[in-house]
Chains A and B, each alone.
Chain A
Amino acid sequence: DIQMTQSPSSLSASVGDRVTITCRASQGISNYLAWIQQKPGKAPKSLIYGASSLQSGVPSKFSGSASGTDFTLTISSLQPEDFATYYCQQYSSYPLTFGGGTKVEIK
């Protein structure tokens, strides 16, 4: 099984900050990597697929990048509505696996 190691597990940031979350795959997954946002009490929402392609309707402040087995989600300027938990997920092979999540909190 492919393990997805996400870091940090939580972070505190201020409105307007640039935030970076990383995810490392235990083996090569090409660019079969998605980023998912979940707000408290709400269903998850897909932000990015293919490591760097934005889902329709997702604002451009979100961006994704890849380097080998390392993947990054960046929020360019954190806004109040961005405080949530973010998960990476690989869909290169079964079983599909998620990272442990990164909770982004208000400083």
Chain B
Amino acid sequence: EVQVLESGGGVIQPGGSLRLSCAASGFIFSSYPMNWVRQAPGKGLEWVSAISGSGGSTYYADSVKGRFTISRDNSKNTLYLQMNSLRAEDTAVYYCAKANAFDIWGQGTMVTVSS
């Protein structure tokens, strides 16, 4: 079964750091770009970041550029999102999604930035 499973969310103070992980299974992980998408409480979907299958190309939304870093370990079939200098407006459920048409989504992991 093709699936992705996020982990690493939690409650963090403003200015803090957190690393999210997304474990993939059931497909050739290195063949696909991967994405992070977030959803603030009661709001719509917002694309955050993407990475190519090889990891050689990365892309970011302006709202997170310079603070978040996407990476992947194809030997472990795992996608990461390192989040630094967190702000209250980063509070959201973070989803990882397979490929640029987002054909497979995880269940999400909640990140709450609050003092």
B-binding residues in A (CB < 8 A): 32, 34, 36, 38, 43-46, 49-50, 55, 87, 89, 91, 94-98, 100-101
Contact = CB atoms under 8 A, between A and B. Distances in A.
Nearest to A34: B101
A32 B102 CA distance: 11
A101 B44 contact: yes
- Identify whether the interface residues of B are mostly helix, strand, loop, or mixed: strand
A95 B47 contact: yes
Interface of B: 35, 37, 44-47, 50, 59-62, 95, 97, 100-108
B102 A46 contact: yes
A88 to B, nearest CB: 10
Given A46-B102, A46-B104, A49-B101, A98 B44 contact: yes
Contacts of B107: 43
